[in-house]
Structure 1
C-alpha cells in the first residue's frame, strides 16, 4: 500500500483536529473505531493485490493475452494516477469521506468487469477501473491519517497498515490458487467485491466524524483545474507509452512519442521541484517512493508467471512463494516505528533498498533447474522486509514534512511517484519480456511445461535490481541539511 500523504501537525479545530487519545495509542478509546475501520479498507486492497497476482497468469493464458501480461498490471497504475490527483483535490476541499466512498465503489466495479471479461483488452479495462478507485482511496486514507492522528501516532498507524497485509499475503495466494484451480480464475475477481461491505460499515461513519470538511482554520481552495489537466496528461501519456511498449512495431513510435510529450511536462508540474535531481528533503522522499515501489512491483508481477511457466509450479504454490513477504513487510514497518530507531531512519531506508535489490537479483536464479524453487520465497521475504522499512518510512517523513493544508496535494505527489514508476517500469519490463519471446513462454505453459526463453525473465529482473540499488543512494538524502 504505497502512497502516502503528508500533513504535518493538524491544525486545532473541533472538526478536523485529532482528539486526545485517553491511553495514547491508536487503539485507545478515542481512536479505536477509526483505526479498525481504515485498516480494514487497507485489508481489502491487500486481498485484491495478493489474490489477483496469483490468478493473473491463468487469466492471461485463458484470454490468449500473455503478451499483454504487464499491461494488465500497469493499466491499474495508469488510471490510479488520475485518481490520486483527483482525490487530493477533492479531499483538500471537502474532506476525505467522498473520495473514500467513491473509490471503494469504483474499485469493486472494476473487479466485476475484470471477472466477467471475455477478452484480454476488456480484462485490462477492468483493471483500469480498479486503478481509478484505488487511486481515490489510497490518497484519501492518508489525508485521514494526517488530519485525525497526531504526529506521534502516525508511525504506529502506518505499521498497522503494513500489518494488515500479513493475513492476505498468506491466505490470499493460497485461496486464489485453490479457487483458480477448482472454480476458475474469474471467481477470484468476482468474490472480492463482497468484502466492500465491511469497510463501508466500519470506516465511513468514523471518517465523517473525525476528518470531514476542510482543514481547520483554512479556507477551502478552489479546484485547481491545471492540476486535473496535468493528471489527465500523466494518465493518458503513461497509457500511450505502455501501448507502444507492448506493440513493438515501428508504427508504435507515434503513440510512444505522443505519450512522452504528454507525460514529461505533466510529471514536472505535479511533483515537487527537484524530485528527479534527488534534492534533499521532500523531493528525495517522493523520488525514493517511486524507485522502491516501481522496481519491486515490476519484478514481483513476473514471479508467479516465471514459476508457473519455467518450473511447472502450480498457481497455488506460485502464489504461496510470495506469502511470507507479508509477515516480513509488517516486521520492517514495525521496526521503523520504534522510537529508538528514529535517529537512524536514513540508514534503515538505505539498508532496506539494498535488501530489495538483493531479492530481485536472486529471484531469477530459479531459472536454473538446480536451484530449489523455495529460493524465491526466502529471497522475497528479505525483499519485503526492506520494503516495509522503506515504504512506511517515506510515509512518515512525508507527513512530517508537509503542512496540514497540503495534505491532499502532497499525498497525491507521493502516490503519483509510486504509481507512475509502477506503470513506466512495468511497461519497460513488459516490452523487454515480449521482445525476447515472453508471450511464447506463456503459451507453452498450458500443460505446465517449462518455457524456452528464460532470457525474457532476466530482461525484467536484472534492470529492476539496478533501479533498486540506485534507491539505496537516494535513501541517504531524505533529510535536508541543517
Structure 2
C-alpha cells in the first residue's frame, strides 16, 4: 500500500496512533470496570448503589457527547479534547482513591463526560483530517482499538484486582491517556473548522441535562417494574426524553427520515442489539448452562475477534469499489447480525458450538455495519457540521445500547417475577434484540434509497 493511502503515512501517523490509544484507554477502562464493579461495591460497602457505577457513566456521557458535539463546530477540537482528557483523568484518579461509594459514583460521572467528549472530538478529527478514501481505514482501526480490550480487559482487570487492588485498574489507564494526548494534540491544534452560519440552536446544555434526567428516571423505573412507582417513573422519564431527542438528534431520526437521520437511527439500533446480545448471552451461559465466567467470556470474545478482522478487511473492500458498495455492506452487516443473533435466540437449545458460531457471525456483521456507517455519515454531513454529526454517532453508540440493556433487564426481571424460568426470560430478551435488528434493517434500507454514492 502506498504511503499516501495509509493512515500511518507520516502526515497521519501521530494523529492515528494518538486517537487509537485514546480509544483503547476508554474501551479498556469501561470493560475493566464491568469486571471489578462487584469488588468495588463490596469494598466500599455500596452494594445498594451498585447500578449507579454504570448509570452515572452513561448519563454523564450523554451530556458530554451532545454538548461537545455542538460546541466543537464553533471552537474546534483542540481545547475541548484537552478538557475531555483532563476530566477523564481526574475521574480516574478520584476513582482510584475513593473511600466511599458516592465519591466513586461522582468519579464515574467525570469519566463518562470525558469519554463522550473525547470520542466526539476523535470522530470530528477524522472527518476533518482524513480524506474520504482513508476514513474507512481509520474507522476500522479505531473499531479494532476499541474491540480488542473486550478480549483482554476483563481478564487483565480480574488479575489486577485479585493480585493487587481494583484501584490499580484506574491508575493503569493514565499512561495511555498521557501518550494519546502528547501524540494527537499538536495535530489537533492545526485543525481548522469550516466557516458556517450559526444554526441558532439554543439551550443545548439544558436539553442534554433534561435528557440525562429523563433517561435516569426511565432506567430507574425499568428496574422497579412491575411496581406502580416503577411504572410512574418510566412514564415520566419517557416524557422528559422525547423533546430533547427531537431537538438534539438530526431532524427526523425518531421517524426514520431517509438520509443521515435514518443512518443514525439504524446505527443506534443495531449497536444496541449487539451490546444487548453480549450481555444476555453471558447471563444465559453462566446462569442457565452452568458455564464458568471465564469460559463464557472467551465465547463472547469470539465476536470481538471477527469484528476486528472484518473492520480491517472492509477498508480494502471500500478502496476496491471506491465507496460505491458502502450502503450494501451496511445492509449485509445488519443481515449477518440478524442471522447470528437468530442462531443464539433460543436459549434452552444453546451450547458452545451454537454460541461460538452465532458470536462469530454477529461479529462479522457488526464489523461491517458499524465501521461503514461512520464513513457514510461523514460523507452525508453538511459543511460545518462535522462536530454535530460526530456527536450523533457517539450518541448512537452510548445512549441506545444503555436504554436497550435496561429494557432487556426489565424483561428478564418481569419474567422472573411472573414465575417464568430464567432460560425463557433470557430468550424473550434475545427476541427483543431481533426486533431491534429488524427495525435497524428498515432504517438502513431508507438510508440506501435516499443517499447518493459518496464516491
Output the TM-score relative to the length of structure 2. Answer: 0.86
In the other structure, the counterpart of 2:367 is 388
- For the 8 Å contact 2:346–2:427, the answer to whether it is kept is no
1:423 matches 2:402 = yes
Kindly provide the CA deviation profile for residues 187-215 of structure 1, in whole angstroms up to 9, marking residues without a partner as x: 44453334322212222222223x2x5x2
- What secondary structure sits across from 1:405 in the alignment? coil
Give the drift of 1:111: 4.0
In the other structure, the counterpart of 1:34 is 15
355-364 or 43-52, which deviates more: 355-364
> 1 CA distance for matches of 2:79 and 2:244?
25
- For the 8 Å contact 2:87–2:110, the answer to whether it is kept is yes
Residues 478 and 34 of structure 1: CA distance in aligned 2, closer, same or farther (over 3 Å): same
1:470 matches 2:432 = no
CA RMSD of aligned residues (A): 3.3
In the other structure, the counterpart of 1:92 is 73
In structure 1, runs of 5+ residues without a counterpart are: 1-20, 441-451
Residues 230-249 of structure 1 mapped to structure 2, 5 A cutoff: 230-248=207-225, 249=227
In the other structure, the counterpart of 2:28 is 47
- For the 8 Å contact 1:67–1:246, the answer to whether it is kept is no
Kindly provide the CA deviation profile for residues 100-125 of structure 1, in whole angstroms up to 9, marking residues without a partner as x: 22222323344455566677776555
Highest relative contact order (Cα 8 Å, sep 6+), 1 or 2?
Answer: 1
- What secondary structure sits across from 2:446 in the alignment? coil
Kindly provide the CA deviation profile for residues 167-189 of structure 1, in whole angstroms up to 9, marking residues without a partner as x: 42332233233334444555444
Structure with the bigger percentage of helix: 2
Number of residues paired by the alignment? Answer: 445
> 1 CA distance for matches of 2:221 and 2:330?
34
Give the drift of 1:220: 7.8
Residues 116 and 319 of structure 1: CA distance in aligned 2, closer, same or farther (over 3 Å): farther
Kindly provide the CA deviation profile for residues 402-447 of structure 1, in whole angstroms up to 9, marking residues without a partner as x: 1231111122223333322122212212222333349x9xxxxxxx
Kindly provide the CA deviation profile for residues 265-304 of structure 1, in whole angstroms up to 9, marking residues without a partner as x: 1111112222222222111111111101222112323444
1:266 matches 2:266 = no
In the other structure, the counterpart of 1:340 is 320
Give the drift of 1:69: 6.9
In the other structure, the counterpart of 1:140 is 121
57-66 or 271-280, which deviates more: 57-66
- For the 8 Å contact 1:111–1:189, the answer to whether it is kept is yes
> 2 CA distance for matches of 1:458 and 1:121?
35
- For the 8 Å contact 1:78–1:423, the answer to whether it is kept is no
In the other structure, the counterpart of 2:339 is 358
In the other structure, the counterpart of 1:321 is 299
Output the TM-score relative to the length of structure 1. Answer: 0.81
In structure 2, runs of 5+ residues without a counterpart are: none
Pick the aligned partner of 2:188 from 195, 207, 228: 207
Give the drift of 1:397: 0.8
Residues 429 and 31 of structure 1: CA distance in aligned 2, closer, same or farther (over 3 Å): same
